[in-house]
Structure 1
Amino acid sequence: MSNVAGFCTDEFESVRTAFTEQVESGAELGASLCITVEGDTVVDLWGGHADPERTRRWGADTLVNAFSVTKTMTALSALLLVDQGALDVHEKVAHYWPEFAANGKADIEVRHLLSHTSGVSGWEAPIEVPDIYERESSTARLAEQEPWWEPGTVSGYHALNYGHLIGELIRRIDGRTLGKFFAEELAGPLGADFHIGGAAQYSDRIATLVPPEYPEFDQSLLPQDSVMYKTLFQPLLDFEMCGTPEWRDAEIGGVNGQGNARSVARIQSLISNGGELSGRKYLSEKTIDLIFDEQVDGVDLAILLPLRFGIGYGLPHAQTVPNVPDGRVCWWGGLGGSMVVNDLDHRVTFAYTMNRMAPGLIGSDRADAYLKAAFAAVRGGA
């Protein structure tokens, strides 16, 4: 019996081949892959196993922690408020969240949060992973901090706190928390099985993560005052905690969304399909255009890779993500290799999630294999 299930149109048969090779070889433990064209699904594949013991097959409804792919859901939630006229990306954050003006942050704009250029890419120590589960206290701490660099000048990836910052803006404007807003305004209406918070109830469907193996190193050798250290090591993400009910139930809109490729592609195809799905207009072209308003292009202070950010999404970068095509394209990836790419030129959305995490901060060899096959089919090998 094949370890791969689902369907694929003839035009994307090379994608099925690439996916099947990775699953059957064991390079993938379990994974899902989905592609939409003009909002319609043309590839919906899943395969492998949901646990390292290989006792549970990865099913059609298996979920997994998609890590920073969650940020695209958070950004899209904010863009809904922009489209409604309730949020202005060029307005000061403190206009909506007055406490945020403390300690030199009065002039930080909403677009700086959405593009990782705010100077507030993490929490001042001491901070532990469980501390970020509690919305009120963790966002209050961010509001009290000084920025770690001049806002708007360079990016410093808001690795863990992106959803806390954007989510608090949403709550201040709308009254609902990020998880509830996302569920009621996006996931629910679109019939998408993706969850930011409250996911412990689905634990029987959530795949077990297999973290990458990193060589041991002495953290004390790193400059403790660097943006990189303060962002990525304060707190250091504990993968065992990522499998607990407490983690799954917390609304951590930067990293703890639980979903699969089908749900990611369904929601994000709002972007590639011009803001409309199933006969409902969610976003105007003007709002979508904001995504491509480049805010920064350079080496990121937190993850030390060259990145281009628009408003809410990454933009193509040949050096860092060579298999994300150029053009009117926006994307982002999650720790371990999960990925979503919106190609507006061809009205295509590509999504990939998995439970065997690859080393590195962005992408993986497996993700690259699928991206190459998918966009060769879309663009005729261009």
Structure 2
Amino acid sequence: MTQIHGTYHPRFQPLVDELSRRIDAGDEVGASLAAVHDGETVLDVWGGWTDETRTAEWAEDTVTNVWSSTKTVVALAALILVDRGQLDVHEKVAAYWPEFAANGKQDIEIRHLLSHTSGVSGWDQPAAMADLYDWDHATARLAAQAPWWEPGTASGYHALNFGHLIGEVIRRVSGRAPREFIAEEIAGPLGADFTLGIPPDQHHRVSNVIPPPPLPFDLASLGPDNLAFKTFTGPPLDATASWTDGWRAADIGAANGHGNARSLALIQSAITHDGTAGGVKLLGSPTIDLIFEEQSSGTDLVLGAPIRFGVGFGIGDQSTRPHLPDNRICYWGGWGGSMVLNDLDARSTFTYVMNKMQPGLLGSDNGVAYSSAYYACLD
């Protein structure tokens, strides 16, 4: 069996064996798992390789692009401003970002951005990946366009623009770009190895993601007015973009966070541990409660799957996530399978980061297997 490195409480041996087995089977190439439970790091393991040819081992400090698991850190950044009284989730976006009121968006609230219900789930066509790299250009375009459905009535996943939308609010309120705010207020104080993008002198630590198989359907067949088509072609998804210097230099709070399971678990454990992570107080209890105020429940207009959204996170629901317990859970994950799972009742945060992307846009078989095994060990 593939050797798994790191430390873990003996009760998690079956989960560690599952990671090793999946690497041996080819379901994984390289991956890391971590958990903080009741104030203690009970799991911090990694194994496999950083490349598809399996020539370089995944190391303790290996990081990779975690795609939409990035959103959990950007949401936390916004909630920190809420906790400090600088941001109100029930206030209009235009109160902080006046230009955003254009084209019928004057009544969209901060909570709509954080729950994917704003009606602005992508950029109007034409849109290219390079457009995301120019912050002022990208946010000005979002401010100018009209919503694609009535805001607040349903969720439509903000796949690539979530970080530009709430990130511009963070910038207007704090005077700092999201990348800077996260570095100075979250990752830095916690000593967490997580960045939006990644500087050139750290590129040697990055394990490039291995793109997934093509989607099992042709987006173009959905038609130009379909919300999934508009979102996932505005701009088109391309996993290999994450290999480029342009992507790594950009501030893309929806998708270009670089880290590993350890850093995500440390950061997110603030939510499951009364607002404190690594000895640093980030949130108060009322702000954590705010996460669980349901904003939408039903079939997401972009993903086509049933999801409950709170403020900044998906909310656990056994009807849609039957492998999870009926606890107070908030979660999200990334394209290809990375995952953040916060269980407040269990005082537990569990995370998974990998380089080999699995099929589909929402979760993976690997993630389900690991989270199921984690709860079996925890119980």
Task: Classify the secondary structure of the residue corresponding to 1:36.
Answer: strand
* Residues 215-224 or 241-250, more deviating: 215-224
Deviations 1:26-74 (A, max 9, x none): 2210000001112321011100000011111000000011000000000
**d(CA) in 1 for partners of 2:368 and 2:307?**
17
Which position in structure 2 is the counterpart of 1:165?
A: 165
Which position in structure 2 is the counterpart of 1:316?
A: 316
One-letter identity of the residue aligned with 1:97? W
Which position in structure 1 is the counterpart of 2:367?
A: 367
One-letter identity of the residue aligned with 2:301? L
Cα distance, 1:18–1:145 mapped onto 2, change above 3 Å: same
**d(CA) in 1 for partners of 2:364 and 2:2?**
24
How many residue pairs get aligned? The number is 379
Q: In the alignment, does 2:164 pair up with 1:131?
A: no
Q: TM-score, normalised by structure 2?
A: 0.97
- TM alignment of 1:1-382, pairs within 5 A: 2-214=2-214, 218-378=218-378, 380=379
Deviation of 1:317 (Å):
3.0
**d(CA) in 1 for partners of 2:320 and 2:248?**
30
Task: Classify the secondary structure of the residue corresponding to 1:229.
Answer: helix
Cα distance, 1:28–1:93 mapped onto 2, change above 3 Å: same
**d(CA) in 2 for partners of 1:252 and 1:280?**
25
Task: Classify the secondary structure of the residue corresponding to 1:183.
Answer: helix
Deviation of 1:319 (Å):
4.4
Alignment check: 8 A CA contact 1:3 1:23 kept: no
Task: Classify the secondary structure of the residue corresponding to 2:239.
Answer: coil
Structure 1 unaligned runs (5+)? none
Deviation of 1:2 (Å):
4.3
Deviation of 1:88 (Å):
0.2
Cα distance, 1:209–1:103 mapped onto 2, change above 3 Å: same
**d(CA) in 1 for partners of 2:220 and 2:21?**
41
**d(CA) in 1 for partners of 2:81 and 2:217?**
43
Deviation of 1:24 (Å):
2.6
Cα distance, 1:219–1:153 mapped onto 2, change above 3 Å: closer
Task: Classify the secondary structure of the residue corresponding to 1:351.
Answer: strand
Alignment check: 8 A CA contact 2:35 2:348 kept: yes
**d(CA) in 2 for partners of 1:216 and 1:228?**
14
Alignment check: 8 A CA contact 2:68 2:332 kept: yes
One-letter identity of the residue aligned with 1:256? N
One-letter identity of the residue aligned with 2:138? S
One-letter identity of the residue aligned with 2:35? I
**d(CA) in 2 for partners of 1:39 and 1:91?**
34
Alignment check: 8 A CA contact 2:266 2:278 kept: no
Cα distance, 1:343–1:202 mapped onto 2, change above 3 Å: same
**d(CA) in 1 for partners of 2:164 and 2:134?**
10
**d(CA) in 2 for partners of 1:164 and 1:93?**
13
Cα distance, 1:319–1:223 mapped onto 2, change above 3 Å: farther
Alignment check: 8 A CA contact 2:30 2:49 kept: yes
Task: Classify the secondary structure of the residue corresponding to 1:103.
Answer: helix
* Residues 350-359 or 319-328, more deviating: 319-328
Cα distance, 1:21–1:182 mapped onto 2, change above 3 Å: same
One-letter identity of the residue aligned with 1:147? P
Alignment check: 8 A CA contact 2:2 2:21 kept: no
Deviation of 1:256 (Å):
0.7
State the superposition RMSD in angstroms. Answer: 1.4
**d(CA) in 2 for partners of 1:175 and 1:316?**
34
Alignment check: 8 A CA contact 1:118 1:152 kept: yes
Cα distance, 1:123–1:20 mapped onto 2, change above 3 Å: same
One-letter identity of the residue aligned with 2:36? T
**d(CA) in 1 for partners of 2:216 and 2:111?**
37
Task: Classify the secondary structure of the residue corresponding to 1:44.
Answer: strand
